[in-house]
Amino acid sequence: DVKVTQSSRYLVKRTGEKVFLECVQDMDHENMFWYRQDPGLGLRLIYFSYDVKMKEKGDIPEGYSVSREKKERFSLILESASTNQTSMYLCASFDRTSYEQYFGPGTRLTVT
């Protein structure tokens, strides 16, 4: 079974803090994604990566950055957290053979 794990299920941070969200997959997938999910808006793509050290902006990259130093790990960084970044963050890994995208359990981030 493909496993995508995220470092925290729940996180509370203060405005202005630097926040790291980590995602690890165990299936040697090249493509990995970070989304945020908000009520009524669905999943919106923040950043994605198709190889180590490669990254591309998604639809809403402002206020975020990413790091992919190893194939299995894709980190999302909030440089200076703001209250409008309170959301559910979902990481996903993509299988190029089956064309399935596998999601982690999500991190519910609250910025106060």
Partner 1 sequence: EDQVTQSPEALRLQEGESSSLNCSYTVSGLRGLFWYRQDPGKGPEFLFTLYSAGEEKEKERLKATLTKKESFLHITAPKPEDSATYLCAVSMTTDSWGKLQFGAGTQVVVTP
- Mark the segment that binds partner 1 (CB under 8 A) among 14-22, 68-76, 77-85, 99-107: 99-107
Dist CA 108 CA 9 (whole Å): 6
Report whether 15 contacts 83 (CB < 8 A): yes
Residues of span 16-45 touching partner 1 by CB under 8 A: 31, 33, 35, 40-45
The HSE-up count of residue 48 (CA atoms within 13 Å, CB side) is 15
User: Rg of the Cα trace of the chain?
Assistant: 13
DSSP 59: S
Considering only 34, 48, 64, 74, the residue that binds partner 1 (CB under 8 A) is 48
The residue count for binding partner 1 (CB under 8 A) is 27
Q: Site residues (CB under 8 A) for partner 1?
A: 4, 31, 33, 35, 40-45, 48, 50, 56, 58, 90, 92, 94, 96, 99-106, 108
